Structure 1
Amino acid sequence: MRYRFSRAVLAAGVAFLATVPAHATDLEVTHWWTSGGEAAAVAEFAKAFDATGNKWVDGAIAGSGDTARPVMISRITGGDPMGATQFNHGRQAEELVQEGLMRDFTELAAKENWTGLINPPTLLQNCTLDGKIYCVPVNIHSWQWIWLSNKAFADAGVPVPKNWDEFVAAGPALEKAGKIPLAMGKQAWQQSGALNVLMAAIVGPETFLKVYKDKSADVAGGPEIAKVFKAADDARKLAAKSNVQNWNEATAMVIGGQAGGQIMGDWAQGEFQVAGQVAGKDYTCLPGLGLNAVIATGGDAFYFPKLDDPEKSKAQEALASVLMSKEAQVAFNLKKGSLPVRGDVDLTTANDCMKKGLEILAAGKTMQWTDELISPDTTQQMNDLMSEFFSTPSLTAEAAQARFAEIIGAAD
């Protein structure tokens, strides 16, 4: 469902804010970064903010963004706002901004020249509504990767695949060796994410945008997307015995050599790093599934609810500035596995997989992603469909595609 806010709720929120006692420079920051790699990364932001004399009060919410976002939104609309909160930049906080609940950082952005620093420009555009800037993008996270266990393929006696087609072909050998070919958590966002990664890889950005940007039901129901649903059917067969829930549990299967690979965003790199694994030696990464080396310029951003507390408001500005600083950008993104939003930072210490992403970004092979193109309501419908598809073998690829085309035709 979409998040609609009544005037009564907003009025209650304003009344509550007036009674909140000030805690000077303590600033609660909510996010859903709770895996090992994520926790190591967010600690870099906290350390940099604390160095300003303020205090980062960590408000991590266990689970995925799908779990955390309703909690965050409920707090903001219910009169219990945090100092700052993570969202994916795009449309997730659109209605909160429209209702006047979020701070405008246009002045700070102009003072610090964010327009000149942030690359690509779409990152800042995704924080902009009616010409005003309402969030601070902190990374470029791309979904379009498959992570492969070199050990699993060595145990199976087959070469590490160079693309998705070779990966599918290696499935029987992996199963014979006692491996799960494709590790995948049983959460809807992971399953719909896999479909979208397959779409970008198999039919390319142009067709992807015809579906999600132009909302073409004809394309969504056509022969090109039929290839994508055929690949999704292959993926669910390869993942049939993957009995984990969370994405990082699936990543751990790849790290341990119990699974051949995982379709997951570049945030998986943080887990490999925490485990002491080396890109190119212990694991292999294929951007665009080895078929179409493009990355989406989605990612994470921080939004700042309006607070009726001058000290906390100053702390919000200090945090926004820290998030955009060179030092924090490098420290955070090296541990997160994502790319920095600043185009002027030194990443010579990046690992092989991050360097692949940087090369793709430098070549301009980027695309918009679903967070930017469809509403939370449409996203939820997609998640529900793909959850059913991956858990119901009797739901054919053809029937699922027909329902997918209906969702796209009605999308906003």
Structure 2
Amino acid sequence: MNSVKLALGLLASVALPSVACATDLEVTHWWTSGGEAAAVAELAKAFDATGNKWVDGAIAGSGDTARPIMVSRITGGDPMAATQFNHGRQAQELVEAGLMRDFTELAAKEGWADIVNPPSLLANCTLDGKIYCVPVNIHSWQWLWLSNKAFADAGVPVPTNWDEFVAAAPALEAKGITPLAMGQQAWQNAGAFNVLMVAVGGRDLFMKVYGDKDEAVAGGAELGPVFKAIDDARKMAANSKVQDWNQATNMVITGQAGGQIMGDWAQGEFQIAGQVAGTDYTCLPGLGMNEIISTGGDAFYFPVLSDPEASAAQEVLASTMMAQATQVAFNLKKGSLPVRGDIDLSTANDCMQKGLEILAAGNVIQGSDELISPDTTTQINDLMSEFFNDPAITVEDAQARFADIIATAE
């Protein structure tokens, strides 16, 4: 029996905390696409197997839509039992206000510090030495997804890097194919910009901008090629009129678009569509330029509840999310990498294998959410949304405005 089969069989035997009676727990998240829903179902199935009940609280739209609703409920005295946030600082104020549960004791009991890889994931859950969340996956933004059909229809080879992709754009357009699929949401525009910063500029440049908050670098010549690349992306995505990220992914799946810059969660959509990595689509980590992946992703926080039975069930859910079997089943459907470093995913597809190899080699970078505040993120999102939607905004103007944001970044 290989390790994956063993892990999948653990759910029936793993010793999870027990509760006296079944308890319903509402869990809020923004995973509503086909691939995401399939992954959430694995979390629900694992928790239901403990004798409790996962009550799904999916909120349609992106995280930008869902997070304010989640925060409002928690601060307004109507908390859910558990809620999704991204790795980083999104829930820091809620933790500081004493509204989130401390799972330090459970983490020590189960040895999370020994199994969570990279350690920064658990560090993101830690404030003043206490652990307040459960990391469930590693989602990397640094991917270019390409439709093999689109390039065959255009009569050009499937690109092996971003420069070749840009060069192939005219051939795609000549066949009525949109070169770059991109949804009309600010976070998608800003996400593409950050991916290009790593792919074109490299890890050190990214960290100077977001880690050091270096205004001179953000406004200087070193970042010039990145803004040239995002201008190319703007032109290539000019005819992409869809709204949501998964609609843009579907353009790639159906051959209506040549490619998409999107995180590895796109794999779930290709999987639901029955497409095979390497045959129907091609994935380029680091856009084929710098094979580096970010260690962003998702974690669940657990608001403080007054009901002791619900509180006990929260601990069961936290333990279940971290269990090997759950990590395997959930991440294979989600397209993300597990947070546990002791899991064999030898049955994963070619793209996930690439991600695992990059992770194992240590070629990783923190996500921007881990380095800058939500307010700074919003400012960059707004700038990139304006840039993509208004061709009159020059590269020079956009870079000057970006440097101003970095100058006051938190």
Aligned partners of 2:79, 2:344: CA distance in 1, in Å? 35
Structure 1 residue ranges, 4+ long, deviating more than 3 angstroms after superposition: none
Aligned partners of 1:63, 1:345: CA distance in 2, in Å? 32
Aligned partners of 2:222, 2:352: CA distance in 1, in Å? 30
AA at the equivalent of 1:80? D
Please show how residues 249-398 of structure 1 align to structure 2 within 5 Å: 249-398=247-396
> 1:269-312: CA deviations, max 9, x gaps?
00000000000000000000000000011110000000001000
2:156 counterpart residue number: 158
- After TM superposition, give the deviation of residue 225 of structure 1 in Å: 1.0
Q: Contact between 1:151 and 1:282, CA under 8 Å: does it hold in 2? A: yes
How many residue pairs get aligned? The number is: 390
AA at the equivalent of 2:378? Q
Question: Is 1:48 matched up with 2:46?
Answer: yes
Aligned pair partner of 2:179 in 181, 188, 209: 181
Please show how residues 10-159 of structure 1 align to structure 2 within 5 Å: 25-159=23-157
Q: TM-score, normalised by structure 1?
A: 0.94
AA at the equivalent of 2:143? W
Q: Contact between 1:30 and 1:59, CA under 8 Å: does it hold in 2? A: yes
2:8 counterpart residue number: none
> 1:150-174: CA deviations, max 9, x gaps?
0000000000000000000000000
> 1:49-91: CA deviations, max 9, x gaps?
0000000000000000000000000000000000000000110
Q: Contact between 1:184 and 1:250, CA under 8 Å: does it hold in 2? A: yes
Aligned partners of 1:206, 1:233: CA distance in 2, in Å? 22
- After TM superposition, give the deviation of residue 24 of structure 1 in Å: 6.0
Superposition CA RMSD, Å: 0.7
Aligned partners of 2:125, 2:266: CA distance in 1, in Å? 25
Q: Contact between 1:182 and 1:262, CA under 8 Å: does it hold in 2? A: yes
Does the residue aligned with 1:170 lie in a helix, a strand or coil? helix
1:8 counterpart residue number: none
Q: Which runs of 5+ in 1 are unaligned?
A: 1-22
Q: Which runs of 5+ in 2 are unaligned?
A: 1-20
1:18 counterpart residue number: none
Aligned partners of 2:31, 2:313: CA distance in 1, in Å? 21
Q: TM-score, normalised by structure 2?
A: 0.95
AA at the equivalent of 1:411? A
Does the residue aligned with 1:400 lie in a helix, a strand or coil? helix
Q: Contact between 1:103 and 1:306, CA under 8 Å: does it hold in 2? A: yes
Question: Is 1:172 matched up with 2:170?
Answer: yes
> 1:237-270: CA deviations, max 9, x gaps?
0000001000000000000000000000000000
Does the residue aligned with 1:38 lie in a helix, a strand or coil? helix
AA at the equivalent of 1:196? N
> 1:128-185: CA deviations, max 9, x gaps?
0110000000000000000000000000000000000000000000000110000000
Aligned partners of 2:205, 2:196: CA distance in 1, in Å? 12
Q: Contact between 2:30 and 2:62, CA under 8 Å: does it hold in 1? A: yes
Q: Contact between 1:24 and 1:312, CA under 8 Å: does it hold in 2? A: no
Aligned partners of 1:281, 1:53: CA distance in 2, in Å? 41
1:20 counterpart residue number: none
2:215 counterpart residue number: 217
Aligned partners of 2:145, 2:187: CA distance in 1, in Å? 18
